Amino acid sequence: MITKKDLSKIGIGTWGVGGFAEKNPSNDDKKQITAMVHMLQHGMNYIEINIWTSQGHSMELASEAVKQSKVSRENLFLSQAIYFYTAPDLESSKKELETMLQAFSTDYMDSVSLSGAAISAIGKDQVYAWYKELLLSNKVRYINLNNPSLDELKEAKEVFGDKLFSIEIGFNFEIRENETNGIIDYAKANDVLCVIYQPLRRNRTANRKWPLLVELAGKYGKTQNQVLLNWIASKGLLPLTKSETISHIDEHLESTTFEIDQSDLDKLNAFVPPNYKKPQVYWGSKGEGVRIDQLSNVFDDDYDKQTK
């Protein structure tokens, strides 16, 4: 079975596979399956999957891609996220897990997580008790947290120890709150993998053509996105990417085949969007300001309003 040292440097995300919040009736299923098969056959072995995205169609396409790839189950890490939108109580969460196991013809998930909203609705004690049952029964190997605060991360580490495998969080060139607030440092110090969604902000970072990224892309003969993925992976983080274009997938795969000088990594680490006033941010289901998982989505509008 897969361990941390066996994981690919880039993982597979499924947001946009089969649609987004709703299933896309015009979706090119064949193209997306072919793309995921290419990823799998070229060593990308971490897959984030859930039933909410495209009303379960993303799960169906991902499972078909796994079958067609002929990559063995033991060489894949399947991480299931369960969202409040489709599983607002513990019973429906249990059903989602069983549905996922059946879809992938497996008797275990490598990791599972309930969203913060689901945990708030159900109750943390109940959710954690269920997690412990899953771990004891070997139906789930590990626990994953979705957008935890630092306090939530510390508490879960105390409860689950080395069974807390990972956290799924946002981090990219412009948005670094999970690093500045100590979440990434704590996770790394305690052997908890940081899985990163929107590492490229769905290509919006490259589209802004930040001078530093343009400079480094030219210096290394790579694309801006390759520089970004290389930088994120160099920090020991696991970025998730999604593409249905083979050339873009190969671009992502090649992003970890070169080395960025330490002086340039230092520049990337020190970057702050110029003249940008960060909004107030909150973790969890309620708070003032912008919820942590939405920062990447609101950045462009906020930044442009502040600087134009």
Could you write out the DSSP letters of every residue in 192-247? -EEEEE-SSGGGHHHHH--HHHHHHHHHHT--HHHHHHHHHHHTT-EEEE--S-HH
The one-letter amino acid at 170: G
Q: What is the pLDDT of residue 308?
A: 83
Q: What is the pLDDT along the chain (308 residues), one digit of tens a residue?
A: 999 999 999 999 999 999 999 999 999 999 999 999 999 999 999 999 999 999 999 999 999 999 999 999 999 999 999 999 999 999 999 999 999 999 999 999 999 999 999 999 999 999 999 999 999 999 999 999 999 999 999 999 999 999 999 999 999 999 999 999 999 999 999 999 999 999 999 999 999 999 999 999 999 999 999 999 999 999 999 999 999 999 999 999 999 999 999 999 999 999 999 999 999 999 988 899 999 999 999 999 999 999 98
- Boundaries of every domain in the chain: 4-263
CA–CA distance, 161 with 183 (Å, rounded to integer): 16
Q: Which of 11, 105, 10, 97 is nearest to 67 (CA)?
A: 105
Task: Calculate the alpha carbon distances from 128 to 35, 80, 164, 252, 307 in Å.
Answer: 36, 16, 12, 36, 45
Asked if 13 contacts 241 with a C-beta cutoff of 8 angstroms, the reply is yes
What is the CATH number that goes with domain 4-263?
3.20.20.100
How does 277-304 read in b/e, with b if 16+ C-beta sit within 10 Å? ebeebebbeeeeebbbbebbbebeebbe
CA–CA distance, 162 with 156 (Å, rounded to integer): 10
Q: What is the pLDDT of residue 286?
A: 86
Residue 281: alpha-carbon gap to chain centroid: 19
The one-letter amino acid at 302: D
Q: List CB contacts of 146: < 8 A, sequence separation 6 or more.
A: 81, 113, 114, 115, 116, 167, 168
CA–CA distance, 124 with 307 (Å, rounded to integer): 42
Q: What is the pLDDT of residue 285?
A: 83
Q: What is the pLDDT of residue 36?
A: 98
Q: Which of 114, 109, 97, 135 is nearest to 1 (CA)?
A: 109
At 49, is the secondary structure helix, strand, or coil?
A: strand
